Structure 1
């Protein structure tokens, strides 16, 4: 390895930008500058940071409520709600990994992030995204077996089996993502330290690398990303199309409604996660281009919107949770009336 011989700075980006000069003509980036929305006027930094802050509070409150509520209600100790808890934990972690830095970017104009912190954020961003996709696969498998193999459902879908499946999704993804991040970290970073994004992601970081291996590292990462996205998506589409086909053949209207109502929350959660991503990918594939600010906004929407909206879906589209909530609220109102008397 070539030792650094001098420190240089680039005034075009920031006076705080520090690079380390290498004797072979390369410079190593020591920290990154997160630009966020390049077209956002500084006058709107306050409202932007406030919006992000309240979004973070909403994500924390909603998902923490689901975890505590399911944990306290023993009647909800079922496979379906166990999956909801894993999704809530995933959404809670994703918001915590991304939003605090975004808030500080606009609240205190803190653009800088260290090399190690940026790669750590990238690791968790992509890991949690892949885990979310795998949890949706487990969720669709749960509904598929419930509809097609109802008699075997209590045997195949147990709390232990779901815990193992979800646990493997977490552990396997975290281990696999270590290789992806280490692969990216081996590249020399010498082009720039400016990340035109609201958080560190693989494409934004590796686009700043130089050398002949950049395209290969990006291709490997994209391949794994497509595997993590398309394999679960394929089964999700297959399972829900199959379920709708069964529902349409049912003659009993009440049976149709009951089957659909048990699948509606899972279908909404899956659509909320996959549809915006598919739209962005397809638009890119057909050559439809967005402005830089719109592209970043779309990425933020499909990344953070599910984290914020999923708890609402759990509460108002899941019969057991909704019934328990209404019962608790009714009991609370009766207690307040009795206390006032």
Structure 2
């Protein structure tokens, strides 16, 4: 980088998170309260899942290892993404330092990539369980699943790092208003005092690779699952398989399809392009809905988990009642 670019790059030392463009100040507290409630719900629901799986050894099975990993990823994403935008609307504190913004951007894309890989592993697990039920215990052991999940947590850092290497090369010498609820590649690169066409092309290519490869495998696996389910003679067995996969597939569609719309919006003709407010609303929708409902979709609906959770609640209530009676007797 030239001396001029180094000087220009050092001008901007902090960014300001705008949030939702055009939002009137009288709605700031309402939006902050809504986002805060979503954050608390995500943390509470997914933390209960983590505690449940950590304390109950009988749940150490491949599918539950996936759910544990997904819950940890969802907690991480919301913890990185939401506190600053909540602070922006509640306390009018939207400023974030340059390097903290880059750090947030890295983790935002990291957890997004990680979730995509976890969903691909989930589809692989369901494919083996339904299409090869007799060989499933051999093909998908706890050790194999831990290896796949561990690999996903490591390799998920590759794609965000490629984008980060492109971003840090850019000079930032003028505007510092992030037109988003958090720092991401697109919103940061738009503020650069340079031609960003190459960076945008690389970012788009990486994003499509991260989305298309897992999504293509997921669609392939669920098509195979559908064919196998239709061959099941037992109607009850077909319904059980459909019920297990349908809810998972719904969340997968909610996760992937809006992302394709957002990432590809620059290639859509001008008369159908989404504006900035619509884009941010869509991003927040597909970013927050899955973490919010995942504990219910993947865990509460599963009979084994539900029974253990109810048993745990009953034991807790009995313990509390016992303590209360002892206190009264004293």
- TM-score, scaled to structure 2: 0.89
Structure 1 residue 320, shift from structure 2 partner: 1.5
Q: Does the 8 Å CA contact 1:265/1:318 hold for their aligned counterparts?
A: no
User: Structure 1 residue 203 and structure 2 residue 217: aligned?
Assistant: no
Question: Does structure 1 conserve the Cα–Cα contact (< 8 Å) formed by 2:204 and 2:263?
Answer: no
Say which of 220, 225, 231 aligns to 1:249. Answer: 231
Aligned equivalents of 1:42, 1:65: Cα separation in 2: 35
Q: Distance in 2 between matches of 1:168 and 1:48?
A: 37
Distance in 2 (CA, whole Å) between partners of 1:194 and 1:96 is 22
Residues 158-237 of structure 1 mapped to structure 2, 5 A cutoff: 158-212=141-195, 214-237=196-219
Superposition pairs for residues 310-325 of structure 1, below 5 Å? Answer: 310-325=294-309
| Contact 2:114 2:153 survives alignment (8 Å) | yes
How many Å separate the matches in 2 of 1:337 and 1:198? Answer: 45
Provide the C-alpha distance between the structure 1 equivalents of 2:316 and 2:186, rounded to a whole number of angstroms.
51
Tell me if 1:115 matches 2:98: yes
Q: How many Å separate the matches in 2 of 1:85 and 1:116?
A: 31
Gaps of 5+ in 2: 326-330
CA drift at 1:277: 2.5
Structure 2 CA distance for aligned equivalents of residues 123 and 286 of structure 1: 27
Moved more, 229-238 or 203-212: 203-212
How far off its partner does 1:52 sit? 1.1
SS of the residue 2:96 aligns to: strand
Is residue 2:257 matched to residue 1:269?
A: no
Root-mean-square deviation (CA, aligned residues, Å) is 2.6
Higher relative contact order (CA 8 A, sep 6+): 2
Q: Secondary structure at the match of 1:32?
A: strand
Q: Is the 8 A contact 1:265 1:317 kept in 2?
A: no
- Which residue, 101, 119, 144 being the options, matches 1:136? 119
Deviation at 1:285, TM superposition (A): 5.0
> 2:17–2:94: 8 Å Cα contact kept in structure 1?
yes
CA distance in 1, matches of 2:208, 2:63: 26
Taking the aligned partners of 1:221 and 1:169, their CA distance within structure 2 comes to 20
Query: Relative to structure 2, which stretch is displaced further, 115-124 or 277-286?
Result: 277-286
CA contact 2:16–2:178 (8 Å) conserved in 1: yes
Instruction: Choose from 276, 284, 291 the match for 1:292.
Output: 276
Task: Judge conservation of contact 2:207–2:263 (CA < 8 Å) in 1.
Answer: no
Task: Name the CA distance, whole Å, in 1 between partners of 2:109 and 2:64.
Answer: 24
Query: Aligned partners of 1:292 and 1:219: how far apart in 2?
Result: 19
Number of aligned pairs?
Answer: 323
Deviates most, 264-273 or 233-242: 264-273
Report the counterpart of residue 41 of structure 1 in structure 2. 24
Unaligned 5+ segments in structure 1 are: 6-19
Q: Considering fraction of residues, name the structure with more helix.
A: 2
SS in 1 for 2:223: helix
> Which of 48, 52, 65 is equivalent to 2:35?
52
Q: Secondary structure at the match of 1:33?
A: strand
Q: Mean alpha-carbon deviation: is it higher for 75-84 or for 38-47?
A: 38-47
CA contact (8 A) 1:140 1:239 kept: yes
Cα displacement (A) at 1:135? 0.4
